Amino acid sequence: MAEEQLTVSKDEHSETPASFEDALNEMRAAMDKAYSNEAMMDACRGGDIMRAKLAVSNGADRTATDEDGNTPMHLAALSGNRELTTFLMAEKFAFDLSNKAGFTPLANAISGGHVEIADDLSVAGANINHALALNETLLMMAAYRDLPAIVAGLIKHGATVDAQDINGVSAAMRAAGQNSTLCLKLIMDGGANPYLKSKSGRTAYDFAKRTRAADTIAYLDNYLVEYATRTAEKGQEHGTTAMKKLSFKKPDGYIPLS
How does pLDDT run across 109-149, given as a tens digit for each residue? 999 999 999 999 999 999 999 999 999 999 999 999 999 99
Report yes or no: 168 and 133 within 8 Å, Cβ to Cβ. no
pLDDT of residue 233: 73
CA distance 213 to 154: 24
Which residue ranges does the chain devote to CATH 1.25.40.20? 30-122, 128-258
Q: What percent of the chain has pLDDT over 70?
A: 83
CATH architecture type of domain 30-122: Alpha Horseshoe (1.25)
Q: What is the pLDDT of residues 97-106, one digit of tens each?
A: 999 999 999 9
pLDDT score recorded for residue 31: 74
What fold does the segment set 128-258 form as a domain?
1.25.40
Phi, psi of 137 (to 5 degrees): -90, 165
Q: From CA 215, how far away is CA 212, in angstroms rounded?
A: 9
pLDDT of 167 reads 98
**Ranges 32-36, 192-196, 202-206, 231-235: which has the least confidence:** 231-235
pTM summary value: 0.80
Cα(256)–Cα(31) distance, integer angstroms: 65
Predicted pLDDT of residue 111: 97
254 pLDDT above the threshold of 50: no
Is 82's pLDDT higher than 50? yes
pLDDT value at 16 more than 70: no
Confidence of residue 35 (pLDDT cuts 50, 70, 90): confident
- Mean pLDDT for the chain overall: 87
pLDDT at residue 148, rounded to an integer: 98
Q: What is the largest CA-CA distance in the chain?
A: 122
